Structure 1
Amino acid sequence: MLDHITLHASDAKRSIAFYTKALAPLGYIPKAHHEPTIGFGVDDDTPRSDFYVSPMGNPAQQPIPTHIAFRADSEQAVRDFHAAAIAAGGTDNGEPGPRAYHPGYYAAFVLDPDGNNIEAVTDWSYAA
């Protein structure tokens, strides 16, 4: 199950304005403000966001990978994901552990063979 995805935009302000209007009929609003990245989520009186728009940076210097986060049922599942992904040929991009994004956020990051940033996360919104 997906937890969240980050779209990298060449003009983040323009894309944020676009998605603010385009997603409104679906009940999505800007919620998580990690400037210059903005997270969108359902208007449900929580800070939970599952779709982020972030600046692309300078693509001439280095391609920006896609970021996909998969939900994990527990911190142990996050650790197991990290170990399995490394054993399968992934590159460590963040050891399992708590992150400062918000309380209860526990994640690990691995780059896949193409350099995409793959995350497993358990967090306060659905942790068992």
Structure 2
Amino acid sequence: MIDHMGIKVANFDRSKAFYDAAFAPLGASLLYIVPVEFTAGATMAGYGRDRPVYWLHETTPVAGHTQHVAFTARNRAEVDAFYAAAIAAGGRDNGAPGLRPHYHPNYYGAFVFDPDGNNVEAVCHDAEGDGA
């Protein structure tokens, strides 16, 4: 059900060195660095085996700070329904459903903040968007 997750790190280079070493025995490596024009200048990078699933975001971590979790949707309609239901249940908009081609051409996601401020996402990677 979980598609990917991100954590905040205070020093990207130090964290990168740690995760490069820690993930190598697991067959995972740094696969993608998001262009800074999409991150407001922050360094963001994703680790995984065949696609990025564990993301580092350089910022100042704060004790008790919220996290980002993404859940796999079987199709784009589920992403749309997730967003509508989350907003109706008191979530706050953090990115309406739509393509995010700066991640990859078929990345269709929606983002909401939960009542505690956690960034919760539903995402479909299917090229057709219909789950087929």
TM-score range, shorter chain: 0.7 to 0.9
Q: Which amino acid aligns with 1:122?
A: C
| Bigger share in strand | 1
1:72-87 mapped onto 2 (5 Å cutoff): 72-87=73-88
Q: After TM superposition, give the deviation of residue 58 of structure 1 in Å.
A: 7.3
1:1-128 mapped onto 2 (5 Å cutoff): 1-34=1-34, 36-42=43-49, 44=50, 48-57=51-60, 59=62, 65-100=66-101, 101-124=103-126, 128=131
Whether contact under 8 Å (2:75, 2:126) holds in the other structure is: no
- TM-score, with structure 1 as normaliser: 0.86
> Aligned-pair RMSD on alpha carbons?
2.2
State the Cα deviation string for residues 8-62 of structure 1 (Å, max 9, x = none). 10112111110110011111111011152111011x4xxx110011102475xxx
Name stretches of at least 5 consecutive residues in structure 2 with no aligned partner: 36-42
Local SS of the residue matching 2:95: strand
Local SS of the residue matching 1:107: strand
State the Cα deviation string for residues 52-93 of structure 1 (Å, max 9, x = none). 11102475xxx8531111000000000000011111111011
- The verdict on how the C-alpha distance between 1:41 and 1:70 changes in structure 2, with shifts beyond 3 A counting, is same
Whether contact under 8 Å (2:109, 2:124) holds in the other structure is: yes
- TM-score, with structure 2 as normaliser: 0.84
Whether contact under 8 Å (1:57, 1:64) holds in the other structure is: no
Local SS of the residue matching 2:45: strand
Name stretches of at least 5 consecutive residues in structure 1 with no aligned partner: none
